[in-house]
Amino acid sequence: MGVDLGELPKKPVSLADLSGKRFAVDAYNTIYQFLSSIRQPDGTPLQDFKGNTTGHMAGIFYRNSRLLENGIKPIYVFDGKPPDFKADVLGERSERKKEAEAAWKAALEKGNIDEAKKFAQATSRLTPEMVEESKTLLRLMGMPVIEAPSEGEAQASQMALEGTVDAVASQDIDCLLFGAPLLLRNLSIGGRRKLPGRHEYVEITPEYVSLNDLLSELKITREQLIWMGILVGTDFDEGVKGIGPKKAHKIVLDCTSLSQAAEKAGALDQLPLFESVEHFFLNPPVKKDVKIEFGRFDKEKIAAFLCGKHDFSEERVKRTCDAVEKSMKEVGAQTRLGNWS
């Protein structure tokens, strides 16, 4: 998901560098990452004894516990109602998931486990039940849950613009098109990642991407960045066939309007949709001056929810909760996140 703008100017950081900072987390994007990556070797989703998918809960609990131990304050922002013009893109995604499911089953029948897992990761679906389970667990862990009027990334970007948070945490860079001054990638992903189609791994660490640095490097305005994204394809449009980041950049460099960019791309027939997408990036529905309240990290209720309802390991959950509480007490938080300096 999200727009592809090619190689980005990045600043690697460690979890220790992020201590004490607040981040508006793109909830759907992050939970999809958990559902895609936390699976059995053959791609089967992680499940409890009743057959319910639990990868999203495992990711939320264990990864966020690590962040809390490091003094990092995640604030999860959930999507509201999508814009009407997003329906076509959502339909395309649904079709691609069906194709991935068929390819996953075919790979399993051939005994090709690596291929099976690759296709399985593309089948992830975030159901309303999973969304509610995620919100419940986040609240039990003391983390704020913000409901966006529409796109979560737009709301998160507004919070970053107002200084309520230090940056937007997401794997997608759409938030930069929404005007977020700073994007933090890889906050919820750690360790090594296998390179596609190769037996090689790379170490994944958090990294900042600055909107100003990106615009300066590309020598364009934010509006031109939006046009570039639209031509390549965003969460709201499929883009123009045959146009990638380099070609889109070359087109928008000499353009002073979206219609001019669409004409150069040979896509004037798509201009009405493109204009709707541009307007949405510049004027998204958002809440302003959102109040952030951190709650209590309630290890008893966390254990009841994860172990009692979803068959998580009691020993591992207890060990993780104890580590979080210990780190909070060391900074004088008394298990209340809002008191952290």
Nearest to 211 by CA among 291, 283, 281, 265: 281
The pTM is what?
0.87
Task: Give yes or no for residue 266 having a pLDDT over 60.
Answer: yes
The separation between CA 18 and the C-alpha centre of its own chain, rounded to angstroms, equals 18
Average pLDDT, the chain: 88
pLDDT for the residue 132: 97
Q: What is the pLDDT of residues 211-241, one digit of tens each?
A: 999 999 999 999 999 999 999 999 899 999 9
Neighbours of 222 (CB within 10 A): 17
Phi-psi region of 47 (alpha: psi -120 to 50; beta: other; left: phi over 0): beta
Task: Give yes or no for residue 333 having a pLDDT over 50.
Answer: no
Determine the average pLDDT of the residues in 147-151. 97
Q: Cα 286–289–295 angle (5° rounding)? A: 105
Q: What is the pLDDT of residues 294-322, one digit of tens each?
A: 999 999 999 999 999 999 999 999 999 99
Distances (CA, A) of 1 to 8, 57, 94, 171, 261: 17, 21, 12, 9, 23
Domains and CATH numbers, the chain: 1-218 (3.40.50.1010), 220-283 (1.10.150.20)
Q: What is the pLDDT of residues 45-102, one digit of tens each?
A: 888 999 999 999 999 999 999 999 999 999 999 999 998 877 666 556 666 666 666 7
Q: Is 334 exposed, middle or buried (0-12, 13-18, 19+ CB in 10 A)?
A: exposed
Q: Cα separation of 258 and 5, whole Å?
A: 17
Q: Which residue has 């495992």 as its token pair?
A: 58
Task: Give yes or no for residue 256 having a pLDDT over 70.
Answer: yes
By percentage, how much of the chain surpasses pLDDT 70? Answer: 82
Least confident of 120-124, 133-137, 187-191: 120-124
The separation between CA 171 and the C-alpha centre of its own chain, rounded to angstroms, equals 5
